Amino acid sequence: MDKIKIHGGRVLEGKIFISGAKNAALPLICASLLTDETVTLTNMPMLSDIKAMNLLLEQLGTQISEFDDFVDGHATKTYSYRTKSIKSLVAPYDYVRKMRASYYVLGPLLARYGKCELSLPGGCAIGARPMDIHLSSLEKMGAKIEIRNGYIYAESDGRLKGTHIIFPGVSVGATCNVLMAAVLAEGRTVLENAAKEPEIGDLARMLNDMGAKIEGIGTSVLTIDGVSSLHGTVHKVIADRIEAGSYAVAAAITRGRIELINARPETLRQPLQVLKDMGVRIAETDNSIIVDAKGCHLVGKDIMTEPFPGFPTDLQAQFLALMLTADGASMVTETIFENRFMHVPELLRMGANINVHGHASAIVRGVKKLSGAPVMATDLRASFALVLAGLVAEGETTVNRVYHLDRGYEKLEEKLKGVGADIVRIKNDEED
């Protein structure tokens, strides 16, 4: 397994190009299953999760073409998806266990083909993550759902039926899945208490470009008038707000200055406000966010994760690392996932002062210094928090299990090296 080695202490300065959003790209890929025409996605990030989703779709019968492309002078990928005829309606265990978001094939396959067999994703490092909201909503639309042998068997007798659904909890995944099912359903579907994450807006806009009739985009009530078919489109994936927020913290934690090219400030209002409240200077241009912490004295700030537009759970670990370099105490409260402080024991090994209370909150006290250590994390965002700690720690930090980072951070070492970090990837076969 690859590792990342970092020598801390460099002040990061320069520009980082923000890639297309993984969490937008994954449902967008699955939305291509809703039509027999070609859906072309530009500004696609080069990530292992995207490769995994592409393999799943190929297995279902989708023809995929890959092109090298440029967005604002930066190399990206464009992918074309065409599902003229389906080969299989099964998302097998081996695919789903590698990537939970495989569950995004459920809504589209059920809507277009009336059937889908999906391996249950099960829990993961950050929590139990059930699918009850996805399934009860699809049942309300007329699907018959059974769970046996670790699989969800979903079937619909003819088209799904539009209905009024009030989600019992705010779920990004359920909102996307049910939205993709509703666009081809018969009649009107109203989704109340829908998640409002920007990635859902991106999906809804692409579906409308394909001929869907969705209103209320960006609000918690989505109204969808079902259509009988959709057509192809070309769509540019929105910038990754979590990647942008992660590099914003890299600037702040090293007291550096980074311009985040292509980042969208409207998707990051809460995290940017927290940075400002801590003492970081933030400026916005037409196509970038400038995060300037040079010479800044940072003070701690309480944060609490919430569904969008609240503070994102996917930036909790990174901001927790930042709080270690600020003056005073900060309370970090996690309300979305029940097991999302797995980075804390590793940070403690680097000299952090953190007290976790139950599963939901942690008191973080600023420390004079962190010291480098070999560390490993159990999930994607927690791994980035360890990279951040390594950037300011004295001496060498080795982050193990880099495959977590490769799921969600495109060209991580290249981007950090480009702004002055002393970081290198050790390939599996180069060292122990």
Catalytic residue among 30, 116, 124, 176: 124
Select the residue interacting with ligand UD1 from 127, 279, 309, 351 (CB under 6 A).
127
State both tokens at 317.
């670990």
Q: How far apart are CA 103 and CA 168, in angstroms?
A: 19
Pick from 92, 95, 68: which is nearest to 79 by CA?
Answer: 68
Q: How far apart are CA 229 and CA 243, in angstroms?
A: 35
Q: How far apart are CA 277 and CA 75, in angstroms?
A: 35
In the complex, least distance from residue 322 CB atom to ligand UD1, rounded to whole angstroms:
19
**Count of residues binding ligand UD1 (CB under 6 A)?**
21
* Closer residue to ligand UD1, CB minimum distance, 325 or 383: 383
* Closer residue to ligand UD1, CB minimum distance, 23 or 156: 23
Q: Show the site string, 9-28: x = touches ligand UD1 by CB under 6 A, - = not.
A: --------------x--x--
Q: Show the site string, 57-96: x = touches ligand UD1 by CB under 6 A, - = not.
A: ----------------------------------------
Region label for 305, one of left (φ > 0), alpha (ψ between -120 and 50) or beta (otherwise): beta
Residue 163's CB: how many other CB atoms inside 10 A? 16
Pick from 131, 218, 136, 223: which is nearest to 185 by CA?
Answer: 223
Of 22-61, binders to ligand UD1 (CB under 6 A) are 23, 26
Binding segment toward ligand UD1, per CB under 6 A, in 50-58, 128-136, 368-376, 412-420: 128-136
Residue 132 makes contact with ligand UD1 by CB under 6 A: yes
Q: How far apart are CA 376 and CA 387, in angstroms?
A: 10
| Phi/psi of residue 178, nearest 5 degrees | -70, -35
Cis amide linkage into residue 198, ω under 30° from 0: no
Residue 271 makes contact with ligand UD1 by CB under 6 A: no
**Alpha helices (runs of H) in 226-354, residue ranges in sequence order:** 241-253, 269-278, 316-323, 344-348
In the complex, least distance from residue 168 CB atom to ligand UD1, rounded to whole angstroms:
8
Select the residue interacting with ligand UD1 from 28, 106, 131, 344 (CB under 6 A).
131
CB 63 within 8 A of CB 36: no
* Closer residue to ligand UD1, CB minimum distance, 132 or 266: 132
Q: Show the site string, 333-352: x = touches ligand UD1 by CB under 6 A, - = not.
A: ---xx---------------
Of 185-224, binders to ligand UD1 (CB under 6 A) are 195
DSSP-derived secondary structure letter, 11:
P
Active-site residue 116, yes or no? no
Binding segment toward ligand UD1, per CB under 6 A, in 169-177, 272-280, 326-334, 361-369: 169-177
Question: Residue 240 to residues 45, 141, 230: CA-CA distances in angstroms?
Answer: 9, 32, 27
CB 250 within 8 A of CB 258: yes
Select the residue interacting with ligand UD1 from 1, 63, 147, 169 (CB under 6 A).
169
Select the residue interacting with ligand UD1 from 172, 263, 274, 332 (CB under 6 A).
172
Catalytic residues: 124
